[in-house]
Amino acid sequence: MDVYWAILAKDLRTELRIRQTVVSTLIFSLLVLVVFQFSFDLRGADLITLAPGVLWSTFLFNGVLVLGRTFATEREQSTIEALAMSPIDRGLIFAAKWSLSLLLMLVTEAVVLVVFSAMFNTAVLSPLIFLDALLASAGFAAAGTSLAVITFNSRAREVMLPLLLLPLTVPVIIAAVQVTALALAGGGLRAAAPWLNLLGAFDILFGAVCYYSFGALLEE
């Protein structure tokens, strides 16, 4: 676990020093919300119908931007080969990168939820939506971290990553939107349980597969 904490601490220090990922994703996410605000008249019943799609469209854009920076330090310093040849558990590298991506996604999503609540005057600051965001972001980050390694050397990695990631995570996106819709409609944890179970199953499955296959992906 020392390797896990060392990699995570190094990446966190880098992010806190330059703040590039958080600042850029926050600005982009807020601009997306502003565009939606002026594009739709989100009031009354229309709000309940459209808000889940608006919110998760913003989260998806945010997540893709965060995951695009997963191996930014290694790319800029050309240290990916050293990381691949180091005598450490490759799964711990995945876990550290996944944790960093998830943390950055959750920070920006929390800000987006607060701004969304203020702009559209809707109760998105609920425990059910927080749980939904956590589970969906965990699965999205797990798949995205592995795909970021696959597209690392691609010249079109900014395009390839979302092209591969979004179809792969369709179950996560559908379940996340459904839980948010149920929460805004007044549904409770029991009503959302099947969708939350789907998110949890996706997190466990992809987390395990990505953890144990990350070494092979990193060496390619």
> What does the domain layout of the chain look like in residue ranges?
2-219
Residue 76 banded pLDDT, cuts 50, 70, 90: low
Please write the tens of the pLDDT for every residue from 17-46.
777 778 888 888 888 888 877 777 665 556
What confidence score (pLDDT) does residue 196 get? 94
Share of the chain above pLDDT 70, in %: 85
What confidence score (pLDDT) does residue 88 get? 72
What confidence score (pLDDT) does residue 44 get? 54
Please write the tens of the pLDDT for every residue from 145-196.
888 888 776 666 778 888 888 899 999 999 999 999 998 888 788 889 999 9
The chain-wide mean pLDDT, for the chain, equals 83
Please write the tens of the pLDDT for every residue from 127-156.
999 999 999 999 999 998 888 888 776 666
d(CA 144, CA 50): 26
d(CA 94, CA 22): 20
Residue 81 has pLDDT above 70, yes or no: no
How much is the pTM? 0.88
**Both tokens assigned to 177:** 């939107």
